[in-house]
């Protein structure tokens, strides 16, 4: 039995929607597992991002996620000795593009498929949110498109906004910023005026996608809850966001907890936005890669 799962990259928060908004992107990690009952040797193959740096075996996040699902389902016949695992990673690591979420989601989907899909979608979503600790990457990775998620008691609700024909430029600087580090810098309390600011921006962000009025994205991607703190750890962050807007982007923000920056624009402006962001970071001697992506509308796919 051979099963393959394709999971998209994601950008979380979209500026003001901290831990609530996320979008799936057209950049993918592929996870392939083959069940080989008689084999006595572990096969764990990594290709692409993390080929040399990611752990194989018990410390691998994808494998840990699979193991958690086997435990939930009471399946103990699967282990690394009889599974041939291949990971083709197209999503850069630790950059704010949801590579950890993709490993968690990939692991849950594959383990569930190996066990005969005993978990329904609600259970898959609940487990993904629980394992990741926050919903805004795993939800769009599972559903695709632009997602809003919140919990009411024990159950969570997912709302999908219309997927626009915009490009998203993701500019990934050549330094790492761990989510933990980027979370530690956030304050425990939010100032009341900043809360009002963010509520208005979230309303504009939602209206922009629902009404296809992308002129609202400039205000709709602004944030005063997390970005002002994180910009202290990301040199020239505000200037790179400004460069994207100046080059024609409708809106620009930190991607997840960073350090990747995201800009939303029309196809005709995408290359200019991409070049401008790279150029502005280069002025501060920071090398950056940039991807021009579409929104992914499918979410996680099993083949």
Q: Enumerate binding residues for ligand HSE (CB under 6 A).
A: 12-13, 18-19, 134, 136-137, 179, 183, 226, 256-257
| Residue 23 per-residue DSSP state | E
Q: Which two three-digit tokens encode residue 291?
A: 């991807």
CB of 216 to ligand HSE, least distance (A): 22
CB 265 within 8 A of CB 169: yes
Q: Which of 90, 45, 26, 29 is nearest to 267 (CA)?
A: 26
Q: Given the complex with ligand HSE, which of 20 and 249 has the nearer CB atom?
A: 20
Closest CB 257 distance from ligand HSE, rounded Å: 4
| Gyration radius of the chain's alpha carbons | 19
In this chain, which residue has its C-beta nearest to ligand HSE?
A: 256
Strands 43-48 and 83-89: parallel
Nearest approach in angstroms of CB 32 to ligand HSE is: 25
Count the helix, strand and coil residues of the chain and give each as a percent rounded to the nearest 5.
35, 25, 40
Q: Answer for the pair 236, 286: CB distance below 8 angstroms, yes or no.
A: yes
| CA geometry: angle 144, 166, 15, nearest 5 deg | 70
Contact 97, 257 (CB under 8 A): no
Look at the block and give the residue holding tokens 């990301």: 234
CB of 183 to ligand HSE, least distance (A): 5
Question: Whose Cβ is closer to ligand HSE: residue 107's or residue 258's?
Answer: 258
Give the residue with the Cβ less far from ligand HSE, 13 or 276: 13
Q: Least Å distance between CB 280 and ligand HSE?
A: 23
Give the nearest distance from C-beta 21 to ligand HSE in angstroms.
9
Q: Among residues 101 and 114, whose Cβ is nearest to ligand HSE?
A: 101
**Closest-CA residue to 262 (of 39, 25, 81, 82):** 25
Q: Which is nearer to ligand HSE, 104 or 119 (CB)?
A: 104
Three-state DSSP state, 294? coil
Q: Which is nearer to ligand HSE, 30 or 136 (CB)?
A: 136
When the beta carbons of 44 and 229 are compared against ligand HSE, the nearer one is: 229
Closest distance between ligand HSE and the C-beta of residue 282, in Å? 26
């Amino acid at each position: 039995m051979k099963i393959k799962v394709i999971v998209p990259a994601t950008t979380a928060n979209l500026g003001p929607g901290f831990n609530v908004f996320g979008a799936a992107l057209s950049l993918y990690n592929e996870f392939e597992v083959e069940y080989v009952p008689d084999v006595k040797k572990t096969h764990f193959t990594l290709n692409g991002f993390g080929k040399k740096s990611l752990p194989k075996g018990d410390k691998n996040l994808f494998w840990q996620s699979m193991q958690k699902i086997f435990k939930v389902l009471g399946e103990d016949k699967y282990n690394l000795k009889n599974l041939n695992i291949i990971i083709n990673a197209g999503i850069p690591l630790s950059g704010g593009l949801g590579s950890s979420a993709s490993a968690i989601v990939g692991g849950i989907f594959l383990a569930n498929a190996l066990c005969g899909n005993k978990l329904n979608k609600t259970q898959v979503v609940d487990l993904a949110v629980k394992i990741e600790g926050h919903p805004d990457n795993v939800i769009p990775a599972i559903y695709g498109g632009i997602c809003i998620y919140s919990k009411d008691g024990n159950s969570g609700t997912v709302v999908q906004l219309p997927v626009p024909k915009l490009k998203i430029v993701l500019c990934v600087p050549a330094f790492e910023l761990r989510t933990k580090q980027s979370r530690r810098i956030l304050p425990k309390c939010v100032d009341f005026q900043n809360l009002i600011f963010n509520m208005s921006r979230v309303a504009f962000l939602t209206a922009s996608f629902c009404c296809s009025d992308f002129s609202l994205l400039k205000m709709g991607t602004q944030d005063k809850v997390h970005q002002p703190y994180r910009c202290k750890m990301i040199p020239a962050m505000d200037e790179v966001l400004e460069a994207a807007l100046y080059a024609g982007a409708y809106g620009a923000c930190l991607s997840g907890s960073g350090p990747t920056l995201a800009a939303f624009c029309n196809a005709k402006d995408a290359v200019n936005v991409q070049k401008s962001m790279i150029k502005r970071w280069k002025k501060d001697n920071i090398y950056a890669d940039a991807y021009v992506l579409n929104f992914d509308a499918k979410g996680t796919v099993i083949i």
